[in-house]
Amino acid sequence: MKILLTGFSTFGPHENNPTSILIQELRNRRNENIEILQLDVGYEQDGKTVVEKIKEIEPDIVLSFGLAGGRYKVCFEAIALNVRSSLITDNQGMLCSHQKIGNGPLAYESTINYKELEKSLSLEDFAISYHAGTFVCNDVYYQELEYINLNHLNIQCGFIHIPYVEEFAKQIPSIKWERLIDITMRIIDKILEEYNV
Ligand code: PCA
C-alpha cells in the first residue's frame, strides 16, 4: 500500500500555502508508506510532474491538496473540468483564458467513492464540491484523472481543497490547524477502509 500526497507552494496574494506543511504533517503522523510531492503552482509542469511521480512509484492512492481561500469547509472535489482559465497568473507568470487542458472529456470524476466518504464521515465542516475552479488545482486533478483513466489504472485519486488555516493567516473564514489534521486523517482512514474491502 503506497500513498502519494501532493501540496502546493504559495501563490497569488497568499502569504503561505498550508497544504505544503499539511502533507508533511500527514506523512509524519501516519504509518503507511507515504510519498509527498510539493508542486510549484504552474500550469505547464505541475500536471506532468505528478504524472511522472505516479509512473515512478505506482501508488494505490493519490490525494492532492490545494488552498481555496474563502471556503468554509474542507472540500472533497468530485470532478475535474477540462478548462484552464483564470484571472491570475501561475507562479511562472503564465495567464490562461478559456483553454482546454487535454483532448479528453469535459470532466473526469474522482475514482474515490466520495458519496460514501461524505456519508461515513458525516462532519459539518466537510463537504463534497463539484467545482475545483479552473486554475492550477483543477489542472493537476484533471491530468491525474486523465492519466489514470487512459491507462485503466486502479488508483484511488481525489483532490481536497482546504480553507485558510487560523494559525497561519488572519483571514475569515478559516479552520484550526488541529481540526484540519483531524479531518484529513479521517479522510485517509475512510479511503483505506473502502480500499481494503
Ligand atoms: N490553490 C490553487 C492552486 C494552488 C493552490 O493551493 C487552486 O485552487 O487552483
- Report residue 125 CA to chain centroid gap: 17
Cell of 184: 484529513
Q: Ligand 1: which of 6, 8, 22 to mutate, most ligand atoms within 8 Å of CB?
A: 8
| Res 107: pLDDT | 98
Supply angle C-alpha 123, 178, 111, rounded to 5.
Answer: 50
Please tell me if the CB atom of residue 65 comes closer than 6 angstroms to any atom of ligand 1: no
Ligand 1 closest atom vs CA 68: 8
What CA–CA distance (Å, rounded) separates 31 from 67?
25
What CA–CA distance (Å, rounded) separates 118 from 150?
27
| Nearest protein Cα to ligand 1, atom 9 | 137
Q: Using 50, 70 and 90 to split pLDDT, how confident is the model at 72?
A: very high
Read off the pLDDT of residues 76-122 as tens digits, 9 standing for 90 and up: 999 999 999 999 999 999 999 999 999 999 999 999 999 999 999 99
The residue written with cell numbers 504552474 in the block is 42
Beta-carbon contacts of 45 under 8 Å, excluding residues fewer than 6 positions away, are 92
pTM beyond 0.95: yes
Please tell me if the CB atom of residue 162 comes closer than 6 angstroms to any atom of ligand 1: no
| Res 195: pLDDT | 81
Distances 25 to 20, 35, 112, 173 between C-alpha atoms, Å: 9, 12, 22, 22
> Under a CB-based contact definition with an 8 Å cutoff, are residues 59 and 35 in contact?
yes
> Under a CB-based contact definition with an 8 Å cutoff, are residues 183 and 190 in contact?
no
The residue written with cell numbers 497544504 in the block is 19
Read off the pLDDT of residues 120-178 as tens digits, 9 standing for 90 and up: 999 999 999 999 999 999 999 999 999 999 999 999 999 999 999 999 999 999 999 99
Tell me how far the alpha carbon of residue 93 lies from the centroid of ligand 1, in angstroms: 15
- Report residue 142 CA to chain centroid gap: 11
- Asked if the model's pLDDT at residue 17 lies above 80, the reply is yes
Please tell me if the CB atom of residue 66 comes closer than 6 angstroms to any atom of ligand 1: yes
Q: Active-site positions?
A: 77, 137, 161
Ligand 1 closest atom vs CA 39: 4
